[in-house]
Amino acid sequence: MVDPPTRVAFSSAESSLYNTVQALLKEKSGQSAWEKGLIRWSLQKKLEDNPSCSVSLIRVLVRELDKLLQIDKARSSCDTHTIPVLHTLYYVVMQSGVTIPTSVYQAVYESMMKLLILPSPYSSVVLSTLRCIEMEMTTPGSLYLRRVTAEQNLKNERFTSQEKVFVLADPAVFSAPLEAAVRSHVEASSFLKDTSTTERNVLLRVLQTGLGTSCQSSMLTPALEALGDHVVQTYFQEVVLAVEKSLNHGAGGRASYLDSLQHIYRDILTASQEERTNLEHAPVFNTAMPYPEINFLLWKDEEDLRNLLENVARCCGSISTTVDEEEKDKRDSVHSQDSGIERDLKEGDSDDKSSSPTLTFTRRNALKNMKTALKLSLMSEKMDAFPGGWPSFKEDRRRHTARVVVLGDDRVLGRLSRAYHSIRERESKHLISTRKLDLRLYYIPVTDVAPSHPSPVSPCEDEGRLCLASLLGRVDPWYNSNINSVGAAISKLQSVNREPAEPNVFLLDTLCYYLRCGTQTVNLPLYSVKMTRSSCDVVEELFVSHLEADVPEFRHLKGKLSKEPTVRQKKPSVEVFHSVISVSYTEISLSKREVVKRETPMTFGVVITSAPTAVTPGQDHLTVKFHSVNPENNTTIQTQNLSIRALQHRTLSVCLDQDTRSTYTGIQRVEISPCLHPGCGIRSRSTQEQQFNKYLDKAMHLPIHTFTGVSP
């Protein structure tokens, strides 16, 4: 029963919006996840077509937040429904093109303060949304300006953040027709980009939002159209300056900010007074948030990701020098001081202190300081995962963001984990892109095999190659509604002969919504794999979801035994009198008591999964299932460290993340353990660093952005 405070009469416009919001929050039993994604998208398009309804929608969302806290004191459904409401509220405030009354903002603020009592990670989403609302209350139009400026890479001197978006598709899933279809849908955003038009739209949008009724759009629109591109760029710089000054001053800068907008508004009208009469009937600009430029490519080589990031680090900013120039400056600064050439010797005769005999000692200290700064930089990245921050707008050392979206199934996440580890390992030795780039990873599941119904015993095996996608959907239902459902639509694009306009917009809108609102991460644990061949060669790899090791001679037994689970076989097709695999592990138990070596007789295969436990931070472990010749001897254990050794001069075949491209044969021994972050492997020299290092989580995870993040 709804409490009396929520029984407020709705206007006709609010009544329609209320029904849409209720359909959005309806439980899965009443509708499919795909339908929820369509409802969210239709609400977004309704707001773009009619910005005046944004205030009514905000009122509806605020009442819904109040009702959620009143109805469910136990927080179960409250937590689940809060995420859609919060992200919808944030998106409405960001893309609203009208002035939102202070009373409405105050109601939003009071409701969200009550929601801070929710458990993590819901409270983290509440806090980050609340910070954005406070920013928009103080400086109307700032969310829109910062988001568009970063996505469109608009050059200015005050807010220098820039973003690049890359979509990497797995060739194992994307056939040539599917690749062409998705590319045409995704890269359509590149043809809609025009810097001058975007700057005019931003000016119109910010002035309308900040000044409200005192800004006459019928006069401002033709005035902006009459101005030259250079003049528009000048006014755009002034608006960015006004926004950044207001944000730096906090709530006290609101009055000065509005005065600056009023001044800019009058200057624009005055500067275009002569031409404005001829453009009185100019069309109104489209101030809806434009699409960012999206680069789509097939991910054929794991090194492609690292090369992309290095190119962005070199080219993405006008405020910093390139990596090559920095490295050249470092080399020149060392060689020009004491290289021994005649020029340096002459300079050494001068009174310059930089060429004093203490130069060797000074340089050695500088090298030590570089290593310390490197280590602290990598450690601070581990601490940046502390919940509550809104990554898009908080102050960051890195001014550029690379958003990487991978399309595929568990195999592409396995490839992503290996590429990510390679990048972090390289950065731990020498900072190249980390200093300038903030890397954010997104995942849209797409597969060429339909998953079966999940099994409570072994979800990963029964879900085919969408094990991690199913995990993310369980952790974050809003991700399941908006992102998991998109994969099925993408898979069907290759069967469409013509290019429909609506799915094009829907796919782009959903992708952009994910990039803008998917701010919380689910950290998937990574595991190191050390494989020793019979020739003593060692191969070091890692996996994120799945590892399968078996003896090729007995591989057919698994299929035969699984086909006849009810028939008791009198004799196996291959005689196995002794153990063919020796397994040593540390079993996880409630008492945390270690279980030493154990033999698994007549076992011919091992399947190891990590996804079902990835939602519990600090308690990550592997689920190991042994396949025995006798199905009655099949066992399952939980462990973090595992060693597998082939016996009787046999060898193992090892497949990582169900990817045949990552299959290794002729393996004699396999050692599995949690993957350690490369940055934590640097030895600490000071006592203070050693004390701090023991509290640091050294395990490495793959951070996939979602809407909710990890639930405890």
- One-character DSSP codes across 340-407: --HHHHHHHTSS-GGGSTTHHHHHHHHHHHHHHHHHHHHHHHHHTT-TT--TTTS--S--EEEEEEEE
Q: How far apart, in whole angstroms, are the C-alpha atoms of residue 543 and residue 662? A: 10
In this structure, the number of other CB atoms found within 10 A of the CB of residue 1 comes to 5
pLDDT at 7: 42
pLDDT at 543: 94
pLDDT above 70 as % of the chain: 68
In this structure, the number of other CB atoms found within 10 A of the CB of residue 4 comes to 8
User: Which DSSP letter does residue 615 get?
Assistant: T
Burial of residue 25, with CB atoms counted within 10 A of its CB: 0-12 exposed, 13-18 middle, 19 or more buried: middle
Q: How far apart, in whole angstroms, are the C-alpha atoms of residue 464 and residue 53? A: 44
Q: How far apart, in whole angstroms, are the C-alpha atoms of residue 198 and residue 327? A: 36
Calculate the average pLDDT of the chain. 76
Indicate if the pLDDT at residue 490 is higher than 60: yes
Query: Is 141 within 8 Å of 264 (Cβ atoms)?
Result: no
Indicate if the pLDDT at residue 638 is higher than 60: yes
In this structure, the number of other CB atoms found within 10 A of the CB of residue 278 comes to 10
How much is the pTM? 0.83
Local confidence band at 265 (pLDDT 50, 70, 90 cut-offs): very high
| Preceding peptide of 119 cis, ω within 30° | no
Write the single-letter amino acid at 136: E
Indicate if the pLDDT at residue 582 is higher than 60: yes
Range of weakest confidence among 431-435, 462-466, 601-605: 431-435
Q: What is the pLDDT of residues 668-708, one digit of tens each?
A: 999 999 998 886 655 555 555 555 555 566 788 999 999 99
Q: Is 681 helix (H, G, I), strand (E, B) or coil?
A: helix
Beta carbons within 8 Å of 337's beta carbon, 6+ residues apart: 344, 354, 355, 359
Q: Which spans in 492-637 are helix H?
A: 501-517, 555-563
- Order of strands, edge to edge, in the sheet holding 701-706? 294-298, 162-169, 400-408, 437-445, 701-706, 520-525
Over residues 572-576, the mean pLDDT reads 48
Q: Which spans in 430-554 are helix H?
A: 459-462, 467-475, 477-479, 485-491, 501-517
In this structure, the number of other CB atoms found within 10 A of the CB of residue 597 comes to 10
Indicate if the pLDDT at residue 150 is higher than 80: yes
Indicate if the pLDDT at residue 223 is higher than 70: yes
567: left (phi over 0), alpha (psi -120 to 50) or beta: beta
Q: What is the pLDDT of residues 297-306, one digit of tens each?
A: 999 988 889 8
Q: How far apart, in whole angstroms, are the C-alpha atoms of residue 124 and residue 69? A: 17
Indicate if the pLDDT at residue 397 is higher than 50: no
Q: How far apart, in whole angstroms, are the C-alpha atoms of residue 448 and residue 197? A: 41
Tracing tokens 């030259």 back to the chain, one arrives at 228
Q: Which spans in 277-352 are helix H?
A: 303-315, 323-338, 342-348
Higher per-residue confidence, 231 vs 348 = 231
Q: Which residue(s) pair with 548 in the sheet?
A: 607, 655
Q: What is the pLDDT of residues 65-113, one digit of tens each?
A: 888 777 655 455 566 788 999 999 999 999 888 889 999 999 999 999 9
Exposed e or buried b per residue across 484-496, where buried means at least 16 C-beta atoms within 10 angstroms of its C-beta: bbbbeebbebbee
Local confidence band at 402 (pLDDT 50, 70, 90 cut-offs): very high
**Residues in the chain, overall count:** 712
In this structure, the number of other CB atoms found within 10 A of the CB of residue 112 comes to 20
The helix-helix angle for 76-95 and 12-25 (nearest 10°) equals 130
Identify the CA nearest to 630 among candidates 597, 601, 599, 598.
601
Indicate if the pLDDT at residue 476 is higher than 70: yes
pLDDT at 548: 93
Q: How far apart, in whole angstroms, are the C-alpha atoms of residue 569 and residue 561? A: 9
- For residue 268, the surrounding DSSP H or E stretch is helix 254-271
Beta carbons within 8 Å of 587's beta carbon, 6+ residues apart: 594, 595, 637, 638, 639
Q: Is 440 helix (H, G, I), strand (E, B) or coil?
A: strand
Query: Is 298 within 8 Å of 171 (Cβ atoms)?
Result: yes
Q: What is the pLDDT of residues 415-457, one digit of tens each?
A: 999 999 998 888 877 666 666 788 999 999 998 775 555 444 3
Write the single-letter amino acid at 87: H
Indicate if the pLDDT at residue 391 is higher than 50: no
φ, ψ of residue 146 to 5 degrees: the values are: -65, -40
Over residues 318-346, the mean pLDDT reads 41
Domains of the chain: 1-140 (1.25.40), 160-190+292-334+356-524+694-712 (no CATH), 195-279 (no CATH), 527-674 (2.60.200.30)
Q: How far apart, in whole angstroms, are the C-alpha atoms of residue 585 and residue 583? A: 7
Query: Is 104 within 8 Å of 58 (Cβ atoms)?
Result: yes
Q: How far apart, in whole angstroms, are the C-alpha atoms of residue 90 and residue 65? A: 13
Indicate if the pLDDT at residue 518 is higher than 80: yes
